[in-house]
Structure 1
Amino acid sequence: MIEAAGRRHMQDREQWRRWLAANHATAQEIWLIFYKKHTGEPGLTYVEAVEEALCFGWIDGILKRIDDRKHTVRFSPRRRNSIWSEQNKKRVGRLIREGRMTEAGLAKVREAKGNGQWAKAAQREDPAFVPPELTAALAENGTARDHFEKLAPFYRRQFIYWIGSAKQDETRHKRVAEAVRLLASNQRLGIP
Structure 2
Amino acid sequence: MGVQDDAEHVEPGTVEEWAAWLAEHHDGGVGVWLVSRRRAVDRAVSYEDSVIEALRWGWVDSTQKPVDDDHTKQWFAPRRTTSIWTRPNKARIARLAAEGRLEAPGRAAVEAAQANGNWNLMDAVDDRVVPDDLAAAFDAYPGSREHWDGFSPSAQKQMLGWVVMAKRSATRAQRITAIAEAAARGEKAVG
TM-score per shorter chain, which class?
Answer: 0.7 to 0.9
Spell out the pairing of 1:12-161 with structure 2 (5 A cutoff): 12-37=14-39, 40=42, 43-127=44-128, 129-161=129-161
Q: 1:168 to 1:91 in 2, by over 3 A?
A: farther
| Secondary structure in 2 matching 1:120 | coil
| Secondary structure in 2 matching 1:100 | coil
Q: 1:120 to 1:8 in 2, by over 3 A?
A: same
Ranges in structure 2 where 5+ consecutive residues have no aligned partner: 1-5
Alignment TM-score, normalising by the size of structure 1 = 0.83
User: Which amino acid in 2 is paired with 1:6?
Assistant: E
CA distance in 1 between partners of 2:40 and 2:21 (Å): 27
User: Which amino acid in 2 is paired with 1:74?
Assistant: W
Identity %: 32
Q: How far 1:168 moved relative to its partner?
A: 4.8
Q: Please name the residue that 2:3 is paired with.
A: none
Alignment TM-score, normalising by the size of structure 2 = 0.83
**Number of aligned pairs?**
186
Spell out the pairing of 1:158-169 with structure 2 (5 A cutoff): 158-169=158-169
Q: How far 1:169 moved relative to its partner?
A: 4.1
Ranges in structure 1 where 5+ consecutive residues have no aligned partner: none
Q: How far 1:158 moved relative to its partner?
A: 2.6
Q: 1:156 to 1:121 in 2, by over 3 A?
A: closer
User: Which amino acid in 2 is paired with 1:17?
Assistant: A
Q: 1:116 to 1:33 in 2, by over 3 A?
A: same
Q: How far 1:47 moved relative to its partner?
A: 1.1
Given that 2:38 and 2:71 are in contact with CA atoms closer than 8 Å, whether structure 1 keeps it comes out as yes
